[in-house]
Amino acid sequence: MTFTRFDRYVERHARSFTERLQALCRMPSVAARGTGVRAMAETVEGMMQRAGAGTRSFKLGGGYPIIYGEFGAGHHCFIVYGHYDVQPVGQLGEWTTGPFAAEISDGLLRARGASNSKGDLLARILAIEAYQKTFGKLPVCVRFIVEGEDGLGSPSLQTFAREHAELLRADGCIWDDGYKDTQERLVISLGFKGIAFLELRAHGARTDLHSKWGGIVPNPAWRLVQALATVVSPKGVITIDNFNSHIAPIEPQDAQALKTVTLDEAQLRREFGIDGWVRGMTGRALAKELIFAPTCTICSIHTGHTGAGATTVLPGTAIAHLDFRLVPDLTPARVVELLRAHLDKRGFTDIDINLIAATSVAKSSQDSFVALAAIESAPEAYAQQPVIYPLDPASGPVGAVCGAQQPATPVVSFGISYAGSNPHGPDENIRLDDFLQGIKYFGRVIHHLGQSSAASYAQKKSTLVQLEK
């Protein structure tokens, strides 16, 4: 089937599609502050209805609504995940224009959420709209699950997955994280690292004291720092007892995929403002560490006086937040267990460990329906082969959505961003050409899924006929 009519439809409507994206990005929807989030949920539901979806809004507890939208029908069903909330805007002075101005200059649309991930969400809805206008009904069933708590750890989505598992039964899932690398190659991920976000807390006196007592009253800040120093070596190696014995070996197919992954190290160092990488890594070793290795990051430390001016206090409490990015076979529960045993063995039984948020590893094969559709549709839309990441270094609530059935639903992820989109940072942006190209690409992915599903159904039907004979 030729996509000439489809592409022309997208090009004729490029201006109106862009205006719809601007309108969406001009609506603040910061989950951490609750600003405009419920209004955004209503807008997203209206967008899906306009494109022909049957929708439902799920409000679970006091959380923000989860919008469910179903398009098409068929023997096979696929989930499309998205989120309508955005990260806090940070320092306004670091933005070229207002974070919700959604102004366009030099082909860039700058706005909080343009890259992560209102652009992806709208591109996929518009692709379905364009497909139906040019080809007719969808060849498969597509279920959108769009949440508003991505920035909060997705607590409502976890509840939704338990209470409405039947809506999550599918043959594959398409996630909303991805970009073009510095060589303009589309990056397709076949899964995500898990995460264990922990709070470590050390206690001293019942309240902050004058620092004159520092020689005889235990200091929880020193206690916490000393405990943390046993967890990661000065070279950045995780030193928790038996930690590495719970990491699965890299599979041959994944090792082969790693050979296609190259990082633009010089540009990344310039962007980050750093002179080099941990342990002096470079080349293949650097890419392997990024994709296949677990991490332990101190995200924040809170203790004592942190306001303006000098105040000599002996802290009463010290708190550190750590996140561990997990790879197969590490689980959040196992990390807590190993860390507890590690600290106890070294006399730090007084350090409290609290698991704040957790997400399991989600990993799929390149041979699934949904992965093949994404990979094989890319060359036509992007004029070159994509780069395959067996695991995205980021994390998300993939396990909640894709673990609703066993075996787990295969997942694939890609997006409309590029290497300079700067999601979560100032001047977050997308290129409008990438936005329109993403619409064209997703239309092809849907069509490929339809072809694969039809072939699979015909094969199953033929097998049943043979068995009946």
- The tens digit of pLDDT for each residue in 313-364 reads 999 999 999 999 999 999 999 999 999 999 999 999 999 999 998 888 999 9
- Tell me, what's the pLDDT at 455? 64
- Tell me, what's the pLDDT at 452? 81
- Mean pLDDT, rounded, for 230-251: 96
CB 112 within 8 A of CB 87: yes
CB 192 within 8 A of CB 395: yes
CATH 3.40.630.10 domain span(s) along the chain: 4-192+362-458
Quick one: pLDDT band at residue 465, thresholds 50, 70, 90? very low
Quick one: pLDDT band at residue 456, thresholds 50, 70, 90? low
Say how far residue 315 (Cα) sits from the centre of its chain. 36
CB 143 within 8 A of CB 70: yes
- Tell me, what's the pLDDT at 459? 56
pTM above 0.85, yes or no: yes
CATH 3.30.70.360 domain span(s) along the chain: 194-247+294-359
Quick one: pLDDT band at residue 464, thresholds 50, 70, 90? very low
- Mean pLDDT, rounded, for 40-61: 96
Fold classified for 194-247+294-359: Alpha-Beta Plaits (3.30.70)
| Dist CA 469 CA 464 (whole Å) | 9
- Tell me, what's the pLDDT at 457? 47
Fold classified for 4-192+362-458: Aminopeptidase (3.40.630)
- Tell me, what's the pLDDT at 307? 86
373-388: pLDDT as tens digits: 999 999 999 999 999 9
**Average pLDDT taken over every residue of the chain:** 93
| Dist CA 5 CA 134 (whole Å) | 6
| Dist CA 147 CA 124 (whole Å) | 15
- Mean pLDDT, rounded, for 2-25: 97
Query: Any idea what the Cα angle at residue 373 is, between residues 367 and 377, rounded to 5°?
Result: 130
Quick one: pLDDT band at residue 453, thresholds 50, 70, 90? confident
